[in-house]
Amino acid sequence: MTHVLLIDDDDLFRESLGLNLIDEGYDVTSFDGGAEALAYLETGRGADVILLDWRMPQLTGIETLRRLRALGVAIPVIFLTALSDDIYEEAALAGGAVDFIDKSRRLPILLNRLRLITDGTRPSGDTEPPRADRLVLGALELRFDINRGAWAGKTLDLTLTEFKILALLAEKAGQDVGYREIYDLVHGKDFVAGHGTEGYRANVRTFIKRIRKKFRDCDPNFDHIQNYAGFGYRWTAP
């Protein structure tokens, strides 16, 4: 049973969503503020995913996320908020969240995102050949057993979403990977985000920009993620 931490100061919304998630087979632990959730996690208890509101008194959602990451809590975080402007989404993703969903979206959309994210953190039950625990491409090392990456021996501070995107590029090294394929990896096939039918491209560019920065924090000369204008990106050979 997938365990969800639901953090929201709106009592009616929290209760309604919590009951809906329980009906769908989720184990739900709810809190009306970030401080209470942090205290819970500091005791060593955990969860599979966190649903986090942005606007909360005393401790905002983004500050809660920062404190989670400072504590070393790597649980995937989905912001569930009425703030739909791109600036909030970019801040959430930059802070280490894996997704950002408007509260007005229907429950099936949230359930689909939850499945996509939690399925990526546990062994697959399908019939595809098992993936190796480790991939090495020159100075790049990816550890699929723990979803961690390193460059020239230095650990990359990647979110789960960033790791998935990097793994896609690395496993297709030398091949062009389209914007749509990268976005579908994160949000589900054919999901449309941003403004207009091509809005997802801006989201992908934001992800890639953050991944490149983390590489360049380790190596200022890093240039192995190349852009192919109008199509997507490619991991070039070392």
* 195: CATH: 1.10.10.10
**Residue at which a domain ends, from 70, 85, 119:** 119
pLDDT bracket for residue 190 (50, 70, 90): very low
Give the chain's domain count.
2
For 119-162, the pLDDT digits (tens) are 654 434 444 455 678 899 999 999 988 888 999 999 998 888 88
Q: Report helix, strand or coil for 16.
A: helix
> Do 61 and 112 belong together in one domain?
yes
pTM above 0.75, yes or no: no
Record the tokens describing residue 41, joined without a space.
């996690």
DSSP letter for each residue of 62-98:
HHHHHHHHHTT----EEEEES---HHHHHHHHHTT-S
For 85-108, the pLDDT digits (tens) are 667 777 777 777 888 787 777 788
Judge whether residue 78 has pLDDT over 80. Answer: yes
pLDDT score recorded for residue 89: 73
**Residue at which a domain ends, from 57, 85, 119:** 119
For 192-201, the pLDDT digits (tens) are 444 444 556 7
Q: Report helix, strand or coil for 112.
A: helix
**Residue at which a domain ends, from 119, 154, 178:** 119
Residue 185 lies in a domain: yes
Q: What are phi and psi of 80, to 5 degrees?
A: -120, 100
> Do 90 and 47 belong together in one domain?
yes
Domain limits for position 176: 134-235
